[in-house]
Amino acid sequence: MSKSLQAIRGMNDILPAQTPAWRYLEGTLAKLLGGYGYQEIRLPILEFTELFARGIGEGTDVVDKEMYTFLDRNEESLTLRPEGTAGCVRAVLEHGLSGGGQVQKLWYAGPMFRYEKPQKGRYRQFHQIGVEAFNLSGPDVDAELIVLTWRLWKKLGLADSVSLQLNSLGSSEARANYREALVAYLQERFEQLDEDSQRRLTTNPLRILDSKNAQTQALLVDAPMLAEYLDEESKSHFEGVKARLDAAGIAYQINHKLVRGLDYYNRTVFEWVTDKLGAQGTVCAGGRYDGLVGQLGGKPTPGVGFAMGVERLVLLLETLELLPSELEQSADLYLCAFGEAAEVAGLSLAERLRDALPGLRLLVNSGGGSFKSQFKKADKSGARFALILGEDELAARVVGCKPLRDDAQQQNIAWDALAEHLAACLQA
């Protein structure tokens, strides 16, 4: 026998038992974002590799180690998107959406791809819902993004399970100065750094700050601090963000070591983290990226955004048992038909019922079967009533209407009166 086929490691099927939770999360967020005036944009999953090399930056883990990159049949280097911001900026530029200082508030959802070590909360195909705002440079929009995520946590019942970490990276100049100071400090202690951090010292030194290595962390205690290098404008921008969060009653923790994995951030960066998921605790992360549009060939355009990890949020909702019980809606009705003629009449009767009762959840028995087997399926469907159509009912142009959840009597209802009868029964 040939070897059975399997999905690629780290790429998950989302099975019918799980899709209601996904729809619930995605639907809740889509509605909430609409309420803040954010519009959906749909973007390709494949982009030219250069977009990510330029946008995310060489020397980042994502670009150096995690991208799915290949040559297509035309020998062009393409990459499965590892994140959504670069593609969103590309689309905004390509269609002139940010020209003339136009404000854009956008969101998108979909799969992202990174070649990582699969584990709980970390996959190779995962899903993000991302939000981006363009041409707004003030702290008000940074705060708005955080406020709207806070509203989402409250809606989902997660407010007590997540906390906000906040930092400012300053201007790119301030960051460059800090980078120099940090590199000088760590260079003197090079031998004591873990291997990853030694490599990062030349490729992406700020990333050393969130190294998981204990010895490296000990070395960092006396290292220069990013906060000491902030320029005045960034400082007042940061104060503006904090003042708005304070006024909105949103608690946060300043985390001087929060630098984010992608190169393009400046000023505000934030993460929502939970301690309920083990090591993969960041459920939403974002920040300001005023330099990115320019870096990708556009006019300087301020930008700010975030992305949330859908798998981690679904996992969190499941772990905390916060999924509403009515997510898996059972059927209202199950139509049993016995014999070819009854099946034919049953199908068109079912369609008439769907016309008359929008939103009706009606399962029509498929594949025939005895009385016993059809009733078993009707019962299993969770339907409140079985509709029975056999030879006798067909001849009399009635349907047997049998309550499945209580001891009430079965009634025969004329076809013409059926919709009205069922509407009343189902309301009760």
Binding site for ligand ATP (CB under 6 A): 83, 114, 116, 121-123, 126, 128, 261-262, 280, 282-285, 307-309, 311-312
Task: Identify the CA nearest to 267 among candidates 137, 75, 381.
Answer: 137
CA–CA dist 82, 79 (Å, integer): 8
Q: Which is nearer to ligand ATP, 105 or 127 (CB)?
A: 127
Rounded to 5 degrees, φ, ψ at 284 are: -155, 135
- From the CB of 391, what's the least distance to ligand ATP, in Å? 56
- Pick 315 or 383: Cβ nearer ligand ATP: 315
Q: Using the minimum distance from each CB to ligand ATP, give the nearer residue, 114 or 384.
A: 114
Q: Which residue is nearest to ligand ATP (CB)?
A: 309
Asked whether 305 and 13 are in contact (CB, 8 A), the reply is no
For the bound state, the minimum distance from the C-beta of residue 277 to ligand ATP, rounded and expressed in Å, comes to 9
Residue 233: name the closest of 168, 178, 294, 289 by CA. Answer: 168
Nearer Cβ to ligand ATP (126/385): 126
CB of 171 to ligand ATP, least distance (A): 21
Residue (250 or 308) nearer to ligand ATP, CB? 308
Please, which residue, 262 or 388, has the CB nearer to ligand ATP?
262
Give me 360's structure tokens: 């009706």
Smallest separation (angstroms) from ligand ATP to the CB of 295? 17
Written as one string, the DSSP assignment of 277-341 is STT--EEEEEEE-TTHHHHTTSPP--EEEEEEEHHHHHHHHHHTT-S-GGGSPPPSEEEEE-SHH
Supply the minimum distance, in Å, between the C-beta of residue 9 and ligand ATP: 12
Distances (CA, A) of 231 to 40, 75, 175, 256, 337: 35, 45, 9, 15, 76
**Cβ proximity to ligand ATP, 62 vs 136, nearer residue:** 62
Q: Which is nearer to ligand ATP, 26 or 116 (CB)?
A: 116
Nearer to ligand ATP, 42 or 117 (CB): 117
**Which residues pair with residue 271 across a beta bridge?**
165, 285
**Tokens at 306, concatenated:** 């975030």
Q: Pick between residue 143 and residue 284 the one whose CB is nearest to ligand ATP.
A: 284
CA distances from 252 to 29, 162, 244, 272 (A): 22, 10, 12, 9
Q: Shortest distance, CB of residue 160 to ligand ATP, whole angstroms?
A: 19
Q: How far is the CB of 89 from ligand ATP (least distance, A)?
A: 15
Cα angle 165, 170, 176 (rounded to 5 degrees) comes to 120
Residue 414 contacts by C-beta under 8 Å, 6 or more apart in sequence? 397, 398
| Phi/psi of residue 183, nearest 5 degrees | -60, -45
Residue pair 155/148 in contact (Cβ under 8 Å)? The answer is no
> Which residue lies nearer to ligand ATP by CB, 116 or 343?
116
Residues 6+ apart with CB under 8 A from 292: 55, 85, 86, 89, 264, 303
Is residue 22 within 8 Å of 310, Cβ to Cβ?
A: yes
Q: How far apart are the first and last CA of the chain?
A: 55
Give DSSP secondary structure letters for 218-242. HHHTTS--GGGG--HHHHHHHHHHH
